Amino acid sequence: MARAREQLAAAKASLASGFPPAALSLAYYSMLYSARAALSEEDRYAKTHSGTWLLFNRTFVDTDRFDADLFKRAQKTLPIRLESDYEAREVSQAEAEGVIDLAARFLTAVEDLYPE
């Protein structure tokens, strides 16, 4: 989870510095690392991004341990990140802010799965 928090902080800093595409990418990785951290708590691992989302869905969403809508919204950021990172898709400030907000909610929801 520490890596997920770092990615979220970096996303916020990138957005504040005027780099919405980088901010969106970092926010996506915050969610991915959060999902991987939760899966590791269940001794489950995936090698790919899509594998991580599939395994997270089966482990937490299908078992009603995680909000399905929040999961779907997080999962839908993968193609946006890919387009931004590899196809130079434009990312607006507002779009990046929305993904950062989503990432913050996703990270909090994952943390709630395993309260200290």
pLDDT tens digits, 26-67:
999 999 999 999 999 999 999 999 999 999 999 999 999 999
pLDDT at position 30 is 98
Q: In this structure, how many other beta carbons lie within 10 angstroms of the beta carbon of residue 103?
A: 28
- Tell me the C-alpha distance between 53 and 13, whole Å: 26
- Tell me the C-alpha distance between 30 and 47, whole Å: 16
- Tell me the C-alpha distance between 3 and 108, whole Å: 14
Domains of the chain, earliest start first: 2-111 (1.20.120.330)
pLDDT at position 26 is 98
Q: Which two tokens stand for residue 82?
A: 């890919």
